[in-house]
Structures are given as C-alpha cells and as structure tokens.
Structure 1
Amino acid sequence: MHYALFSFLLLSLLWTNSLAQTRFHVNSPDQAIRVTVQNTPAGEVTYQVRYKGKPVIQPSGLGFVLQRPAVTLNRFTVAAADSSRTNESWKPVWGEVSQIRNNYHELALRLLDKSGSGIAMVVRFRVFNDGVGFRYEFPQQTALMHFVVADEQTQFALAADHTTFWQPGDYDSNEYLYNTTRLTQVDATAAAAREKDIALQSLIGPNAIQTPLLLKTADGLYISLYEAALLNYPVMHLQLDKAKLTLTSHLTPDAVGNKAYLQTPAQTPWRTILVSDKAPDLLTSRLILNLNAPSTIADPSWLKPQKFVGMWWEMHVGKATWERAGGKHGANTQNVKKYIDFAAKYGFDGVLVEGWNEGWEDWFGNWKEDVFDFVTPYPDYDIDALTAYARQKGVRLIMHHETSGSVTNYERRMDAAFRYMQQHGMNTVKTGYVGRIIPRGEHHDSQWMVNHYQRVAEKAAQYKIMIDSHESAHPTGLHRTYPNWMASEAARGSEFNNAPTLGITPEHTTLLPFTRMLGGPMDFTPGLFRFRLNQFDSTRITRVRTTLAKQLALYVTMYSPLQMAADLPENYERHLDAFQFIRDVPVDWDDTRVIAAEPGDYILTARKEKGTPNWYVGAITDENSRDLPLPLDFLEPGKTYEATLYRDAPTADWDTNPEAYVIEKKTVNAKTKLTLHLAKGGGCAIQFIRQ
C-alpha cells in the first residue's frame, strides 16, 4: 500500500524555518533513523543522517558540475517539497527469501539553481528502517535537455576516524583484497602495489577507494556506503579527504574525461547508506533491491537457478589450457564428455565449458578488435555431438563468451551468438571482460560499459538466456529488474586461490557478504577439495587457505542462484561423503537468517530451502579458530529434524591439515542448542531434514 502525504506535520516528516534556514526532517518507519536536509541562506543543500541519536553522516553537500551547459549546481532555492509513505511486499523470482517488505518514508525536494540558469533538479530521499537511499532527478524542462556531467559532488562526511574495510579505487578492477585500517590510514597506491596478480589496474589515486565501503564506528555502528540501480551512469568511487574525514563521489570517466551523457528526464543511481548496531542486519537488508525497479520479464517461468560443474579449474591448476596450441587443450570432445557423465551421475544441471572456441591463442593483452566470433568451435570440440550427448544425459552445456575486452565486437555478434546457443540447447552463458576495453579509452566502470551490461541482459532475455557476468561492474540490485542476470563475479573470486602472491586470505570470504555481495549474488566458484595446487605441476607453490568443511559452508554463506562445484571430478571422487553436501544444498531459498556475524571474523547463516521445510546452515571463520553457539529456534516448533553436520575435525587447520573433516548425524528440534567449533580458516555446513 502507498500513502501520499502533503503535510510535513504528519508522522515522520517535519518542516522548520529558523533564522532563514529551511530544514526538512524525515524519519524511518521505526523512528530509528532521522535524515535532516537543510537549505542555507547561501543556497547550499546539505543532508545528515543519525541512527538512534548517533551521528552516521554529518552535514554533507549535494550538487553537480555540468560540462555542457557549463554550470555548477550547488546553490539552490527549495521550490517545493513532497512526502509520502510506502509499505508493501513483493515476491522475487528467485533469491534468498520468498517475500520482501518495502517499507519507507520519502521526502522529495524540488530545487532551482540560484545562478540564474533556470535548471530544476529533484533530490529524493527514501528512509527505511535499515538505511537511506537518495538520488538526483532532472525533470524534462526547457532550461535543460541534453547535458554532460563533469562531476557529481555528493559528500559523505563522517563523524570520526572509523575502522574501514576498503579496496583501492580502480576504474577497471574490483578484484582486490580488502584492507582494514582507520580512514586516515588509507593508502590506495600502496595497497595496489602489493597486488601482483590483477591483470589490469587503472588506479585513481592514493585516497580513492571503491564502493561498497564498510565502516565500523567506535560505538558499535556498522555503516555501508554504496549505490543501487546503476543504469545509464558510471560507477561511483569515493575520494577521501583525510583532514575533514569526508568522502566525495568520484565518477568513472570516459575517454575524454566526461562522466555521463544524459537527456531529461534523467536520474542518477541511488546513493545508499545502510546502518545498524547489529552486523547481521546488514546481511539481511533488502534496501538495495527495494530501490530497483520491478522485473521487466513478464513470464519468468524459464528462469531456473542451478548447480553446475565445469571444464574450468583444469586451466587454473595446469592440467589443461584454454588455447588449442600446445597440446593440452582441455575443451576437447572426449574430455567434456567426462564432465557430462560426472554431472549426470551426481545430479548437476549443467557443464560450463571454457576454451571451446577459436581465438584463445590471440585473446589476451593485444587490445585487438576481432578475436572471437562466439560461433566457431575448435576442430577437436564437436559441439553438435556434445549437445546431443548432454541432452541424452539430462544435462545442458553452459556457454562461455569471453570478449577479451572487445565489447564492440561482442555487441555486433550477440544476436548470432545467442541464436547459436538456442540451436544447441543452451540457456545459460558466462560472459567475460578480461583486459582493456574496446572502444579504447572506456573503462569497465564507465557509463558506456554500464549501458552495455544492461544491453546484454535485455538481449539475452529476448532469447530466454540467463547471464553470469565476469569482470563486469559491481552489481547494484539489478537482478530484481533483470532476473535473467542471475550472478556476477565483480570481486576477487575463488580462481585467485591459484594466484602466486596474495591469493585469497581466510578472512576474505567473511568480508564479501558485507561488501560486494550487498549488491547481488556472486559467482565465487566455491567447492575446492584439493588445497595444494601442485597436482599437475610439482613446481607450483600456491595453496588454498581454507579447510574442506569451509568450502562446503560457502554454499550457504555466499549466495548465488548459479552455483558451481569448482574442483575437478577426480578430486570430488576422493571425498564422495563430503561431496554429498554440494549435491544436496539448494540454490533457491524461502527464508534466510543471519544468526551471528562480524566482518572480517565470522559468519553464521541459516537458510530454508524453497518449497520444503528443510534448512541448511553455513558457518565460516577467518584465520582464527572459534566456537559459535547455534540455537535452532529457526526450525519449526514441535517437529523433529535429522541434522547432518559436515564439520572440521579436531585436528583440522587450513595450513597443516585442511582436508580433515567429520560427518555426523544428530536428531534435533527447535529447542536444541549446538556449539560449532571452527578450525583456523575453517567452517561447518549442516543439513536439517524434517522427519
């Protein structure tokens, strides 16, 4: 239900005019969050946010610099103010919960530029119980039609030198490890210099950091700064002023330095501020999804969450290569048949095949326009025979489209590529954007590329194809609007376990749900069962810093409707008892509870399987061992469940004994209380089947 309010004296919205300074106040439905917007006599418009009386954002500026027309929009008169309330529910096509409540109070201010340009702009705030979203809107008007954005001047002034979980600001990569420092200790240049395994870096500067940005205050508030509904606009990074403890929006530029090309009516993405005094609340927030538009797919019945295996990890551990030259080509007919057999035997939906198509000998580092045509297999890959074989086995092949950064080439060939997929019974594609972007001068995070990702989602939907994008811009809840865009990588995924320098630290997976995953599901590719990666090359020294039980738990703590069992079939067949959890764990859920969590330390999550009474639990920790209490009050009262625990053995340790695990069964009910012991770098996965 939606209520329009036109009096600022009702419930959450108050208006005051004191000493010629106009202030507007809007509270969250539960009154915990209060946003104050002020228009000073000089014309500045600032906003501030408080949570339960504590400062979250101090008075912070709003505004724009336009390149065409050449005007700075930072002095305004408030011409009108409207307010409203919304309290409704909606059902996602797939996801972590079966129903989402959308409950907020809204304030919209119509601003007129005081410089005499005649330009009007709307700033719209939506205040939820778990945070705030605001955006700029440019209505259709004679004073502004086509315009070019030079800079957005959104500020986030912080109250103190908070603990900060951050990545270096970079226009082309979000594959960094997270750093944990005080704000004033941020040094993005030094952090990036430690990263030797990122293929392409485009650093912004020493004080530039990426969103999503996670902060923890000394008095126990958790704050996330991010964005929602990123469409027709560049990715927002943040520029830090250490002296003022203020972050200012920094938009990704194009080849000539402009940020966005817009035509009225136009709007920016939402700038989001999540806040809570309980860390688990951030992980269950649906604010970013609520700020996205409803699904554009009228009949979503063809969208199918799925688990798959893949001819992928072979290339990362030296068993095979993507390219055919050299004699180790992995995507050959006989090898892929083995993966199809494995998928069919153990109940997987699909088989991802990378390196199937001609062009891999010339794909990386040459900044070349035409590398792949996406329809020409290597001679040793009989796609027609494999399609028929997969169909006979009840399995689908999953397509891989690596663009090598040549996006103009991919756009020219998308229709032909998607038709080719349809002809071969494929309904899922993994896209890739490794390397520098063509058109030259564009970045992975620029407006042109953001529009490209949207075009791919829309075009794929026309062919009833689901998307798993890699090396794309960070997700911002667009899987609500385009539910066929089911997952993205957009962060440091499991493939970095093979990186020779920093790799993936044990704490990394305890930070991703608090940061990058606030915007949407991640194709992290969990499920590694072999941890010394010298299986095919004895000179390799790389290791996976995890226990086997933690790899199982990641299927619960890190949500994706497209989940891969990332390791080699022969490694799973050494541990078929543990592999059973990967076979059983769902990829679509009715309910999610985050029972305990602390960023960088641990996460304990319970999820209810879609359409059944069964629950699954995942618990993970960083490099420290710990004991976590697990009350089972999420189970149905009065019912008995068989719990199967896949846990670290007493001797397990990511460094010395990662494959040590124990599987045990218990009879439990909602009154049972368990204690989970997690080894260093370890975890625990539990299946609860109602009896």
Structure 2
Amino acid sequence: MKCKFLVVLIIMLSFSCKNDSMILDVESPQSNLKVSFNLNAEGEPFYQVMFNNKTVVDTSYLGFEFTNAEALKDDLKIITTATNSFNETWQMPWGEQVDVVNHYNELKVELQETSEPKRKLNIVFRVYDDGIGFRYEFPEQEGWTEALIKDEHTEFNLTKDYNTFWIPGDWDIYEHLYSTTKLSEIDALKYVGHVNLAQTYIPENAVNTPVTMVGDDNTHLSFHEAALVDYSGMTLKVDTENLNLKSNLVGSENTDYKVKRSLPFHTPWRTLQITDNAPDLIESKLIVNLNEPNKLGDVSWFKPMKYTGVWWEMHLGKSSWDYGMTQDMNTWTDPGKSNGTHGATTENVKRFIDFSAKNNIRGVLVEGWNTGWEHWIGFEDREGVFDFVTPYPDYDIDEVTRYAKEKGVEIIMHHETSAATETYEKQQDTAYALMQKYGMHAVKSGYVGKILPKGEYHHGQYMVNHYNNAAIKAAKYEVAVNAHEPIKATGLRRTYPNIISREGLRGQEFNAWAEDGGNPPEHLPIVAFTRMLSGPIDFTPGIFNIKFDEFKKDNQVNTTIAQQLALYVVIYSPVQMAADLVEHYEANPEPLQFIRDVGVDWEETKVLNGKVGDYVTIARKERQTGNWFVGGITDENSITHELTFDFLDEDQTYDATIYKDGKEAHWNDNPLDIEIEKMEQTKGNKLSIKLAEGGGFAISLKKKNN
C-alpha cells in the first residue's frame, strides 16, 4: 500500500504544576473546532468543545470507577502537556475512496493524583476539521498492574435540545427502528422486550452509537467511538433534564466489573463528528482515521463483489435453512429424507451460480449448507450444535465449488454460530482451513440468540474480543469477515482490512417477517446519517418483488423498485447482495441491468445533497473503470432534486442511463412503476429528477469513447 506522509511534530513540554503555564487548548487545522481542557478546584478533569465560535459541548467531566481501587476522577493535578500536528494521506485497499487525508492537531495531558497512591492517567485529544476524538491512557506505573473498570464516566454536556435520531442502548442488539425526538424526550425504556428481536436487553434510558443530532442553527453532531479493542462497547446514558450524555459501558452478569485490563493500556477513542451540514457527516473519515494503519499488509486476495444467494427465499418461507432429518449432533444416525424445502441443495445453488455468472455478479452466499440447523432454535444450550465443516447430504460441496470455479464465481461461506461462542472458537481453524482449501475468501458469520456462556452480552468486552479475534484469525487463512448480529463498527477495517462489512442495524429481512410492518420509508434516510457513519453495511438491497403476496401477504418492502436500485450506491459496502430470487430478476431484465453495471469498489465519493431522516443523494466513481454511479433516496415525502454533474471528469462524455420513479410511483400504492431513460452527460450538465414517496433513482454514467 502506498502512503504519503507529511508529519510535523511540535512538542511543547512544561514541568510546572501551575495550570496557567500549561497548553490547555487545541484547535483543528482550519481553526473551526477548539477543545479546551482543565481541572476544577477539586482536581476533577473536564473539557469543552467550541465549533465556529459557539460552545457545543460545555463543561463535561471525565473519570473512572473501579471494583479493585478507589475512583479516579478528582484529586488530580496536571504534570505535563504536549501538542503535536500530524498530516498524512493514506490509501484504502478497498473502500469509499482511495486517498484518505488524516490531518489533526493533538493535545496530550498527563495527570497524577496529588495524594497516595498517586496514580497516573493521560488524556489525549485529537482535533480534526470535522470532529474530535479523545481517549484515556493508563501508563505503566509502580503499584498498579490491573484495572477492573466498574464504569467509565465520560460526559457530553450539550448546550441545546437537539433533534436526535437514536436507537435504544440495547446491550444485545442494534436491530431497532430509529426514533426521532428532542434530546429531552428520549425514552429508551419503552422498547424493552420488543417482540421482533431474537434477544434484547435495555437496562436504562440510554442510546447506542452512532447517535446523530441536528440543531436549529444547522449544527450536526454524531457521537460514536473508534478503535474498539479489548474493551466494552459504550452506550450513552441520557439525562433528559440537563441535556447530558454519559458513557455507560456494556457489562456482564458474570463479573462485578465491565472491563478488565492490564496496565499499560488505552481505551477506545470517544468521538464526536461536528459539521454544519448533513452531507459532510457522510464524507467524514474521522472514525477510520482514529484507527491504527493496516497490520495485515497485502489483502489483494479479497476482492469487493456483488453476490446472490439462498437467503431471501428462506425469509420468505419458500425454502428452509435446515435439511430436516435425524441427527445426534455427532454422526448421522439415519440417512432419512429431506423435508423437501431445504434451500442449500447442490441443484439450487448451481442455479444461483449460473445466474451470477451471466450477470456480472462474482459471488454466491450459501446459508443452511451445514449440519445443525434442526437443533438450535428454541434450545437454551446451543453449544456443540453446529458443525462448520460437515455439509447436509443434499449439498455436494466438492461439486458446488468445482462448478462455481468453472463459471468464475466464488462461493461465500456462512457460519451461523447461534451465539455459542465456545463451539465456534474450537472449530474456527478447521472451518477457515476448509474455506482455504476451496478458495473461499469471504464468510458471513451470525450470532443469533443469547450469548453463551450465559451472562455475557453481544456488546460486552467478552464479545468484543471474540468478534475481533475471529477476524484476526480469519486473516491467517485469507478469509474476510462479514459479521451479523455483531459488535458495532468502529473503523477497525483500516487496521484489519479483512473486516469487510457487518449488519448491526435493522436490515432488509425485517420487511419479510416483522410484525410491525417492516422498515418504514424514513428508515434508510436515517441510517445513512447514523449507522453508516460507523462503517460498511450489509443491508442486502435489490428486492424487485416488492409485494410478495404469494409468500407473505401481510408483509412487503416499503420502497419503490427505483429506490432498491439506488441503495447500491447510497448504502456502502464492499459486498453488495442482489438479494431477490432469480426468477424475480429474470422477469425484470431492464432494472436488472443497473445491478449488472453498478460498481462496488470506489475511487471517490461525493455526497450531493442530504437531510437527516429525509433524503440523501450520493455519487461514487468506480475504481479501474472511472465510471460514475449516482443513487438518491427519500422518505415518505416526494421531492424533486436539481442535480449538477460537476463531479464528472473534464472533456469526457458519459452514456447515462437513469432509473427513476414513474409518474404514478408510490412505495405502497404503486412501487413497481419505474422509468428508464438514456442520454449523454458531460461535466456541469444539470438534470431535474423527481423522487416519489418512498422512492429513489439510480444513474449509471459510463465513459464514452470520444
């Protein structure tokens, strides 16, 4: 990987203990953001954040509670401060763009207790033009070797009652619909026991991150964390009266602490993206920049791809994950008979391989191929159920992989762990080795159900380590991981580029079976400015059969077909599924052409417009070809955009194909109404385009040989 570095270090040290001789402020490179740090009279550390000369985070205190030591939150003094500036341009091996500018100013404050045992704590702030990150460092020190953190008390004391887009601080799942309320009106506890969720635990009035806010002065804030390693996931407890957010780490029923670490160590970065418009939130690379550089080296064995698979038909009820025969968990006791609906058969998978090969789709995901599916749903003890190397009798893995290779298609492995972590960890090496044997370079992992061992939660330190360690081990076998029911994305894809995508939101499958009617039209215009800020999303777009009455008459996808096409550009992932059934694509060859054409790996990304929760339009330039693709979506309200193609290359003509909502299109009343128009476009041209209620548009712009 090529990197360009321009590093300027300006170290300013002071050995006086008087605050007035210390450097306690740090500004962003363009001086639009400023962070101030200090101690109050009791020695409590606090910080403030100013944006465009306005205070957005007022006096906010920092500190820790431990189970094996006294709290560390007061009686502190400043020992030294240091600042430095850093500017580099690094390159993504895959991603939304090639070049990423990482430019910040840093303030490091070294603190120590004034009385015994005189423990030390450092706080580091990095200030970018688009936000801030700060973390705690626990240096090596005599007499303190292990920290058992009961809780971390990081505050964000806000100055306004922002309009907030949030999901509850669930310790087990992120698959909630977003609520839009004032900060002062957040009530996460009303979502306790949600019927559509496989597992859920909401202990208090808190929100999960990223949580995005918009002020009446157009200030946009989004709170999250970066580089979550060997630590517990952070929720934000909401004080609705005082407009205050406070970190509350995900815990465990098995310990009286939430994080156990040996010194020295540092916490994840606590992040706050700050912009004066919505599009800049999406274009920000704050989260990935706060992560360490690539530790894997060359990962060219993973290629971004579109894929199909036996997944949607299972959610529709056309086929099943399980084979339906008798098994004693170790050997087959009876050759038995298939239940007749098993989806992962050799014949059915070959059908998807043929379709993919014909339509510029490089992968096929096979779920339900391995033994154990009959025995895990509803069973509390799921350890030992799944076998990650033994296929069902009607799935010939040798023949399938041979056939796929012949057709130029890669099989994507599926590992549903059923959240039985010890079983998965014991089998990971053999499971990844099997993938390596067959030349499979991507796996979709799943963690449906309550975590085993009992008492652990999906977002606690135990599982953070499990998810990360699984991906690190996978890299040794040249396997990339797309995790479902995951821990949140925090930019680790920079450090470990085989962490390619994840779920971590309420996905497309809820449209097929959720009792509350599925995802409303506003869902994805919120997701683009919340969940997507943390990293790639495996949302599984491309449903053409919007109203699938032949399978489930009470469910449907709540968008137009044009919006389903737009999602390939709007919702970013290096793996994008063409999720619908083969027969539904073959019945709609004209809109299918966009899925054939659209890229999946990008040289450049431009957010053309956007309003959180309402609409967004994104243009992306494909690596290698230089072709551009544009996608736009809206909520339940129709809107007309005036697009200007000022992002196109100079002196280049493009053949444009526009897939847009028809005149009578409507997400519920007429979702299949689509118009396809062809024209030429050049840089600077303008185009007026109307999006229907719950609608969208997609444009392919292919370079024309001049």
TM-score by length of 1: 0.96
Partner of 2:249: 251
Partner of 2:682: 669
Contact 2:23 2:81 in 1 (8 A): no
Contact 1:525 1:566 in 2 (8 A): yes
Find the aligned partners of 1:72 and 1:109 in 2 and give their Cα distance: 15
| Cα drift, residue 327 of structure 1 | 2.8
Partner of 1:586: 599
Partner of 2:11: 6
CA RMSD in angstroms, aligned pairs only: 1.7
> How does 1:316-465 map onto structure 2 within 5 Å?
316-325=315-324, 326-367=339-380, 368-465=382-479
Contact 2:314 2:343 in 1 (8 A): yes
Cα deviation 1:158-194 (Å, max 9, x = unaligned): 102111111111100100010000111111122445x
Partner of 1:264: 263
1:72 alignment partner, SS class: coil
Partner of 2:290: 291
Contact 2:231 2:268 in 1 (8 A): yes
Q: Tell me, which stretches of 5 or more residues in structure 1 are unaligned?
A: 10-14
Cα deviation 1:351-370 (Å, max 9, x = unaligned): 10111111111122313211
Find the aligned partners of 1:8 and 1:131 in 2 and give their Cα distance: 25
Amino acid at match of 2:38: Q
1:658 alignment partner, SS class: coil
The partner residue of 1:532 within 547, 560, 571 is: 547
1:46 alignment partner, SS class: strand
Find the aligned partners of 1:303 and 1:75 in 2 and give their Cα distance: 51
Partner of 2:484: 470
| Cα drift, residue 219 of structure 1 | 1.4
Find the aligned partners of 2:698 and 2:534 in 1 and give their Cα distance: 24
Find the aligned partners of 1:536 and 1:77 in 2 and give their Cα distance: 66
**Runs of at least 4 residues off by over 4 Å:** 15-23
Find the aligned partners of 2:136 and 2:562 in 1 and give their Cα distance: 46
* Cα gap change, 1:50 to 1:502, in 2 (>3 Å): farther
Find the aligned partners of 1:39 and 1:22 in 2 and give their Cα distance: 12
Cα deviation 1:265-313 (Å, max 9, x = unaligned): 1010000010111111000000111000111112222121111100111
Moved more, 558-567 or 501-510: 501-510
Amino acid at match of 1:597: G
Cα deviation 1:513-532 (Å, max 9, x = unaligned): 21111111000000000111
The partner residue of 1:215 within 201, 213, 216 is: 213
Amino acid at match of 1:233: Y
Contact 1:22 1:40 in 2 (8 A): no
Partner of 1:225: 223
> How does 1:16-165 map onto structure 2 within 5 Å?
24-165=24-165
Q: Tell me, which stretches of 5 or more residues in structure 2 are unaligned?
A: 1-5, 325-338
2:509 alignment partner, SS class: helix
| Cα drift, residue 22 of structure 1 | 6.8
Contact 1:16 1:23 in 2 (8 A): no
- Does residue 485 (structure 1) correspond to residue 499 (structure 2)? The answer is yes
Find the aligned partners of 2:55 and 2:72 in 1 and give their Cα distance: 29
Partner of 1:12: none
Amino acid at match of 2:8: Y
Find the aligned partners of 1:16 and 1:488 in 2 and give their Cα distance: 48
| Cα drift, residue 332 of structure 1 | 1.2
1:81 alignment partner, SS class: strand
1:65 alignment partner, SS class: strand
Amino acid at match of 1:268: T
Contact 2:511 2:555 in 1 (8 A): yes
2:440 alignment partner, SS class: coil
Find the aligned partners of 2:13 and 2:27 in 1 and give their Cα distance: 12
| Cα drift, residue 671 of structure 1 | 2.0
1:62 alignment partner, SS class: strand
> How does 1:231-246 map onto structure 2 within 5 Å?
231-246=229-244
Find the aligned partners of 1:38 and 1:16 in 2 and give their Cα distance: 15
- Does residue 597 (structure 1) correspond to residue 602 (structure 2)? The answer is no
Contact 1:319 1:536 in 2 (8 A): yes
Amino acid at match of 1:52: N
How high is the sequence identity, in percent, across the aligned residues? 45
Contact 1:437 1:443 in 2 (8 A): yes
Find the aligned partners of 1:338 and 1:690 in 2 and give their Cα distance: 33
| Cα drift, residue 638 of structure 1 | 2.4
Moved more, 239-248 or 267-276: 239-248
Find the aligned partners of 1:507 and 1:294 in 2 and give their Cα distance: 36
2:664 alignment partner, SS class: coil
1:83 alignment partner, SS class: strand
Find the aligned partners of 1:72 and 1:119 in 2 and give their Cα distance: 8
Find the aligned partners of 1:393 and 1:650 in 2 and give their Cα distance: 40
TM-score by length of 2: 0.94
1:49 alignment partner, SS class: strand
